[in-house]
Amino acid sequence: MLALAQDFKTALLAQLEQLAHPAGETRLVLAYSGGLDSQVLLHILAPICHDVAIPLSVVHVHHGLSRQADAWAAFCQAQCLARQVDFHVRYVSVDPKRNIEQQARIARYAVLAQFVTSPSTLLLTAHHADDQLETVLLALKRGAGLTGLAGIPQLRAFAQGQLYRPLLTFSRQQLEAFAVAEQLHWIEDDSNENTDFDRNFLRHIIAPPLKQRWPALTKTVTRSAEHLQHAYTLAEHYTSLALTACLEGNRLNLLRLAQYHPLQQPLVIRQWLATAGLNPDTQWLSTLQAEVIGARQDATPILHLGSLQVRRYLHWLYLLADPPAIRPGIAAVVNVGKPQYVAEGQGYLHWHAEAIQGAVAIDSEHQEFTVGFGLLSCNFKPNGQPTKPLNQWFKLWQVPPWQRSQVPLVFADNSLYAVVGYASRCEATAGRYWLSWQPVMSQSGPQHTLSE
């Protein structure tokens, strides 16, 4: 057991030295339940932090799911007080009628994120090799891909710092033997015996005969997970490069995407959607490919995902929120140089004294204009261009149909003078003012700085 403690201390000190952030003093936050695993981690970690003067905060999350929850919090506080460690307890509520495990996990990490407030902060959790085995088996049960089968990473970004799992190479048997030798006391959560929960079912029913048949299974699965994590990291790296090449604003260039390997294309789309916090299943991606990306060229298909929607127009794929409802017609009278909201507060007109990207030129002959939306049948003659119905100009400018009714139209002398963000009948060199538009709900589009 002394060898385990020394191995752990040596490995942890080396890892902390490697993870030390150059911008500030390394600070540790321990997620502490008071159970066997986190008790072992606290017992070994506390003297290390005292010896090398590393600030340590211990956080216990009170879920309120057990009648003993208050007693557990008191136990954790006493353990930290005995070791002279900074202790915090935070209370969360979980709906017992929904997925308790998932809710508790989400609530727990939301609390822990509040303590990881700098790049030099490291959150420690007490996951061990048996947790890794169970996680990989659960991923197999779900039919997970590379991300799920890679299991629990030992180190990853978290909140504003990082999350590190120093016990991941140790088995629960090793930790329990160490705890007994050190005469440690810990919390036994009776819910961990409830095999109605998938993880407990694996832990108590499935894993024991597997490990009896193959004693090294925990270690070999941990090794396999490490290999898959390396493969996942590499795939993410190259996918990120591909996404950068295909992405413009919040739209994806499908012609560029098609140049990549067919197996990489869904990975690029997944990573693109992940930037908005979306994680679609495989069936949704198949529907996207068949009904949106694969739709006929003149179609404008739409597919919803969470609170957002994915649309295609020409060779572009867009990710956007529901557009604001702006009624067609004249919305406001505006005066030159006076910024104001128009379209029932949906957007803001900006006047500029010089040309900027995305703004249209306004001459000095007019001091008052009317602004409207959705009048797509109006004729428009941009400076130096022929007269065409506005809808034809929008097609030439490749403006998606769902965005056209959101573009401000500036009228003077009962005729269309400018389409903000696109063109004006005023010659650029004759412009005295420049007009741009910023909607309240920003969605990127194909034109310069005009957002839709």
Residue tagged 């502490």 (tokens): 32
Q: How confident is the model at residue 449 (pLDDT cuts 50, 70, 90)?
A: very low
Q: What's the confidence (pLDDT) of residue 10? A: 74
Distance CA 442, CA 391 (A): 22
Give me the pLDDT at residue 450, please.
Answer: 27
Q: What is the pLDDT of residue 344?
A: 62
User: Does position 62 have pLDDT exceeding 70, yes or no?
Assistant: yes
Q: Minimum mean pLDDT among 263-277, 310-324, 378-392: which range?
A: 310-324
Amino acid at 355: A
Position with higher pLDDT, 250 vs 12: 250
Dihedral sign, Cα of residue 256, residue 257, residue 263, residue 267: positive
What gap in Å lies between CA 447 and CA 443, rounded to an integer?
11
Tokens representing residue 313 in the block:
């127009």
- Return the structure tokens found at 406: 């959101």
pLDDT of residue 335: 81
pLDDT of 413 strictly over 80: yes
Question: pLDDT at position 275, please?
Answer: 87
CATH of the domain spanning 2-229: 3.40.50.620
Question: Residue 397 has which token pair?
Answer: 């400018």
Q: Which residues are bridge partners to 316 per DSSP? A: 253, 313
Residue that is written with structure tokens 């130096």 in the block: 384
CA distances to 286, 302, 305, 413 from 290, rounded to whole Å, are: 6, 12, 16, 48
Q: Is the Cβ–Cβ distance between 351 and 337 less than 8 Å? A: yes
Alpha-carbon distance 177 to 83, whole Å?
Answer: 21
> Of 153, 143, 144, whose CA–CA distance to 225 is shortest?
153
Q: Domains of the chain: which residue ranges? A: 2-229, 249-320, 329-439
The per-residue pLDDT for range 161-199, each reduced to its tens digit, is 999 999 998 899 989 999 998 999 999 888 888 888 899
Work out the mean pLDDT of the chain and round it to a whole number: 87
User: What are 278's two structure tokens?
Assistant: 């979306």
Amino acid at the residue 8: F
Overall CATH class of domain 249-320 = mainly alpha
Intrachain domains 2-229 and 249-320 with the same fold: no
- Position 75 scores a pLDDT of 96
Among 131, 111, 164, which residue's Cα sits nearest to residue 37? 131
* Higher-confidence position of 64 and 69: 69
3-state SS class at 414: coil
